[in-house]
Structure 1
């Protein structure tokens, strides 16, 4: 078995077909088929089942692919570390953030990192489920993750600050006259909410549980920018991290009372390399709580 075979199997699982995997990997289709057959022969198991919608990993295949993903990620990190010099860093960096966290801070830090190390290839994605984010960290898939809480040791977890949550209201909403919005004043209004397994929806439920009845749902969305835009159109208020508010909507945003905050934790993989260490240093320089800019102007 080889890492190349692992990479081919992961590509087939991601794309759902040998043809699409070959295009993704920029190799000939027969090469992918041959590698997958050889891998299954060496393992003595069937990794994929053919269905009307494409190739789907078997139960054994899914278990194998989880470990293959860890091995491939470790190999990429090892190559990046080996290539790291005093002035140059090459390789791959995988970063994930809990939905809504670091929306303002992360792009700036990554931009600085990329200008400093132009050969560094960076993959970034948002994860709505905090439980899934922690699982990805434990599996060693991520180089750095931003989240509200984690079970890692202090050596791996670094508190960057706090993310304050704000409420977004529709134009003309009477609560826009307030410097801070008492959430009890929004009782009975339907909310623009996030997916049920989202960490952001859990924040809203916990806050409103203390303020009064459970929230009424006007709509559910998957992205913070969508929630802000829909709230701005009058569908209902939404509660988001302050840094997640898109430019142009600041006049519809207010801090809330009582204050709602969550810690921002940066979790580095074990034996962190120079790329993620450099990114952590840049993130420490960012401002992580700035809801004062949303207060009503005099």
Structure 2
């Protein structure tokens, strides 16, 4: 058993003839080296995948290339000591879909050190419904709890709450009994949805700045999950309660933020960087086990996961680049 002589994959290419992308037939010799071969069941659609599908997205490092930063499937061949044919596995992060051929393919070959065995309690479809976005949210919650956050400490702010990381953070925190204040630029449109996910209160992002300017503000948040970054991060830090932490995982609001050392010194706060790409494997396995059990984001998964095939992928990637995607989309290889 192994990789068949012909299979389908979504491939992007750029050469002297220009840029092109679409579903094509490949053979095993066109896959990269690796000690584990996988029949992919599902991948997922992320903004980074959308960028990989356009000529100036600055994600793909070489051509031709198979994008897809997430995958879940079944091992068909392995020389890695931890995996054997028949094992159900998932992969997110590392170089997958960036410099190593990714998950938009019926078969993949990769480094077994990047894999996590699919934990009991999660199907391959659910794992990809969670994907990098949900995993990043769970890492953020994990970091806050590790730094002492408890439900009785008070409200937790989630910025960019209608996005992938934000919505999963709301769902996970709700399961754990935290009071959640969800911040979004789409309050009127998405307030009911965010409350259905578990938010106690929904505020407009314009409500985040403190009433009075200054290096420190009234204590407001026991903790914060911020996949946005930018200028408003400084406002969040000013309003953290004594000993509070903010978990930062994104930069859609910008890469710079104005701030001072006062909140860190006077309130003993922490700014925690969250990296889902090269997260240590011990943490990775623990967090995926939690996502399959007590942290399973049921409220997001219950909203439904849109499923598309490889043939529908070009249109789906276009939608995510245009900001028209709603909820999570997985790509089925069956």
Larger Rg: 1
| Higher relative contact order (Cα pairs below 8 Å, separated by 6+ residues) | 1
Would you tell me which structure has more helix in proportion to its own residues?
A: 1
Q: Structures share a fold, TM > 0.5? A: no
Report the TM-score when normalising by structure 1. Answer: 0.29
**TM value normalised by structure 2:** 0.27
